[in-house]
Structure 1
Amino acid sequence: MPSAFLLLVHVYKYLGKDLFFMKIQLSDHFTLSKLLRFVFPSIIMMIFTSIYSVVDGLFVSNFVGKTAFASVNLIMPFIMILGAIGFMLGTGGNAIVSKTLGEGEPKLAQKYFSMIIYCTMIGGVIVSILGFIFMPTIAKLLGARGEMLAGSILYGRISMISLTCFMLQNVFQSLLVTAGKPKLGLLITVSAGLTNMTLDAVFVYGLKLGIAGAALATVASEFIGGLTPLLYFLHKNNSSLQLCRTRIQLGIMIKTCTNGSSEFMTNISMSLVNMLYNFQLMRIAGENGIAAYGVIMYVSFIFCAMFIGYSVGCAPLIGYNYGAENYTELKNLFRKSLKLVGCAGVCLAILANLLSAPLASLFVGYDDALFALTVHGFRIYSLAFLLNGFSIFGSAFFTALNNGLISACIAFLRTFAFQIVAVLVLPYLFGINGVWCSIVVAESLAICVTTTFFVRKRHVYHYV
């Protein structure tokens, strides 16, 4: 991870001081340098968001033990499923708001924006209460027993305290970019991430609060990540969006959910697939298998966050130019995006192989067998980084074009259908290696589907 941050520092130096001082206009023509400046805050936002759970796992594994680490890993997919509602409303709503702005309707865009935020708050409270009540049942269904069961319930119930803020944070990650405030989003996310890391050290290492300490650190960071932008938009500001009085428009909310269904599907599918991976690894390698997979997932979150962050940052540009019928700029963004995603994939795959041992040591260096298992699995898994950026971008691209159906299709096949088949079949043929290479097979199939949609829809949306 230190090397990844060093890479980002070099990128910052290349982009120069304009990263924080350039005036953002969705209607501008974007050169490669200008595009990188625009999306860079979104990439950092996604990286710091992914660091939340990574830091929890790092402290729990090293200072509480691998059983507690496995407990957190077991319940985390369920928490991410609930948080995925925020991703759905954020990305789906962002497509509508940015398109409406591109059509020259700023007041209507503000009403849509406000409705999405209010619905997220109401839904978040309801879901968090239900999650708290049924957490023991969920943990048992996921296979937790004994000490792992107690740890999973404890971490899960504390996490429900800030679930609404977590959902709001996911919504604002997209909409802050559309509001022309990606730097504010970056500042908030970095602040929340630093809070999480600091409090993990205090609660888990200093006060010896164990799993509860890790969960409380995450709760505090999510309050910062969710409430700070809410307060900003509640007051008069100089962005293109502000919270105002509105009413629920069922048609727009359905369109929002439809547009964002791919991101919702992606997060739910990933969580369900992670549960299946855990099941297969528990059967083949026991507790060590779940712990090893947890490490690989944590690092994968950070690497994939670069693709997701780029897609989130680029989506308002795509939606705006599609709404404005500026097809020349749409073609420009599409071509540059494919080149950037391809180059990033090669760099990340190489970096993952080089850092497999240092990163495994950082999490599980205290156990030789677990360390060896983690390094071996991560080196196979890292091949997926060559491919998955294209499908992540493809799904977000069609969401921005307001085609939620294609976006959801790509997301469903990539994160669920292909992986389910692979992780069910391959372990019976190749043992634990079949688990590690399941993601590579699934991503290979997904890129074929994404390419097919790119080719078939090129004349409909005029991006080629």
Structure 2
Amino acid sequence: MQIQLSDHFTYGRLLRFVLPSILTLFFTTIYSIVDGVFVSNFVGKTAFAAVNFIMPILMVLASFGVMMGSGGSALVAKLLGEQNKIKANQVFSMIVYTMFMFGIIASITISFFMENIVSFLGADGELLTQATRYGRIAVLGGTAFIFQHIFYCFLIVAEKPKLSFIITVTAGITNVLLDIIFIVILKWGISGAAFATVIGQMVGGFVPLVFFLLPNKTSLRLVKPCLDGSALLKTSTNGISELVSNIAMSVVSMLYNYQLIKFAGDTGVAAYGTIMYTSYIFSTFYMGYSFGRAPIVSYHYGADNTDELKNLFKKDLVIVIFAGILLTAISEILAYPIAHIFASYDPNLFEMIHRGIYIYSFAYLLMGINYAGSSFFTALNNGLISAIISFLRTFAFEIIAVLTLPILFRLDGIWASGVVAEIASFAVTVVCIVALRKKYGYY
């Protein structure tokens, strides 16, 4: 029996509903990492560092899709909870068409200035050449990359998270197969990795576009939009925390790369890329869970069902605390094999990755509470509080940590920066949850 947003959620029902969302993000992350694995093992360390150097730039572009997807889905789910289906579809359509135009303009602009951007971020020599080549090709999939994040959120609102999972797996398989053809067989090097990524993103971004353009049995379909400035503003403010979070993560990643070039050269940048790949995989549970249950919170908030909000809030706490303990333990256990997968050919890089993962693993203990707390306020259409938590967590606290800790602890200080940022963010999240509990009635 299909689970609906209006249902009462037990632990089992909640986990069944969010599982496709978690798996979707997991496989999205896996096929994003595939380029790194193939490039590292078949092209070389400098090319691998170049891919990692470009990734934060691409994530800045994708972050606008995350903002409009998370913020828009919260608004649309709230409208559906208020039984206003016509308005919900108009707002949904306006968001999609607006971001289509934005994606094209942004991709062309970034491609034109790619070499200047990479040079400004500190790359030179062969790293500059490889990063520019990869970036100019990869950014061609910018619109599809944006759509992937938008439709990921709206397929959940449409009560089709399993379809999102199927599309993502298909896109991932496409990416892997093309990596084998372009990199291993045809020897296209870093350019092959970029083309494989773009084509995979097109599968992930444009297939759901076709689904929503055609007649379907869900509550959402692309219709003739009406320009609604207030709805667009509300969408943006709802999702501003996700925009802040993703852009901040990208900016911070650039700062990490800058610091690592000083302390460990190209090897440090390559090691950081692997540690971040691992972090992306482990954090997909928190992100997938948060995105998956957000429309449920928005729906019941729109329906003024405070009993279900209390139910969801309590289950949030239990699930993310248990997950934090489990993921930290798993990360510690897998530190060695992960380092072996990426760097068995280079003992220095291997050791750097192994130690970095071991230190960073402790961030997972509190990461889930911080993710879920920010997402909960987005779902309640309180973008300001969500943005404050995200901004402090992914930008302010982490920048302070990555600039100061290496002075005392050198490379270990860089790996520990994420842990310190999560601890500080946890304190902020708890304060916000306690301060607003009576306003929303979730506790």
Counterpart-to-counterpart distance in 1, 2:381 and 2:331? 34
Return the letter of the residue paired with 1:133: F
Counterpart-to-counterpart distance in 2, 1:195 and 1:386? 34
Superposed structure 1 runs of 4+ greater than 4 Å apart: none
| Residue 84 (structure 1) aligned with residue 42 (structure 2) | no
- Cα shift at 1:126: 0.6
Match of 1:7 in 2: none
1:421 to 367, 378, 400: 400
| Residue 363 (structure 1) aligned with residue 372 (structure 2) | no
Counterpart-to-counterpart distance in 2, 1:101 and 1:407? 22
Match of 1:144 in 2: 123
The answer to which of 198-207 and 256-265 deviates more is 198-207
Match of 1:8 in 2: none
Match of 2:18 in 1: 39
Please report the RMSD computed on the Cα atoms of aligned residues, expressed in angstroms. 0.7
Instruction: Please show how residues 150-229 of structure 1 align to structure 2 within 5 Å.
Output: 150-229=129-208
- Cα shift at 1:143: 1.1
Return the letter of the residue paired with 1:121: F
> What secondary structure does 1:248 align onto?
coil
Match of 2:86 in 1: 107
- Cα shift at 1:52: 2.7
Deviations 1:346-379 (A, max 9, x none): 1110000000010011011110111011101110
Return the letter of the residue paired with 1:115: M
Counterpart-to-counterpart distance in 2, 1:187 and 1:56? 21
- Cα shift at 1:338: 1.1
| Residue 287 (structure 1) aligned with residue 261 (structure 2) | no
Match of 2:378 in 1: 399
Return the letter of the residue paired with 1:142: L
Match of 1:260 in 2: 239
Return the letter of the residue paired with 2:323: A
Counterpart-to-counterpart distance in 1, 2:98 and 2:30? 27
TM-score (ref. length: structure 1): 0.95
- Cα shift at 1:289: 0.8
TM-score (ref. length: structure 2): 0.99
Identity %: 52
> What secondary structure does 2:113 align onto?
helix
2:288 to 309, 313, 333: 309
Match of 1:66 in 2: 45
Return the letter of the residue paired with 1:326: N
Deviations 1:69-105 (A, max 9, x none): 0111111101110111100000010110000000110
1:95 to 57, 69, 74: 74
Match of 1:445 in 2: 424
Counterpart-to-counterpart distance in 1, 2:298 and 2:235? 14
Structure 1 portions without partners, runs of 5+? 1-21
Match of 2:107 in 1: 128
Match of 1:330 in 2: 309
Structure 2 portions without partners, runs of 5+? none
Return the letter of the residue paired with 2:29: S
Return the letter of the residue paired with 1:216: F
- Cα shift at 1:197: 1.3
| Residue 383 (structure 1) aligned with residue 366 (structure 2) | no
| Residue 26 (structure 1) aligned with residue 5 (structure 2) | yes
Counterpart-to-counterpart distance in 1, 2:69 and 2:26? 17
> What secondary structure does 1:286 align onto?
helix
Counterpart-to-counterpart distance in 2, 1:118 and 1:24? 29
Counterpart-to-counterpart distance in 1, 2:441 and 2:399? 34
Counterpart-to-counterpart distance in 2, 1:137 and 1:107? 45
Match of 2:278 in 1: 299
| Residue 49 (structure 1) aligned with residue 58 (structure 2) | no
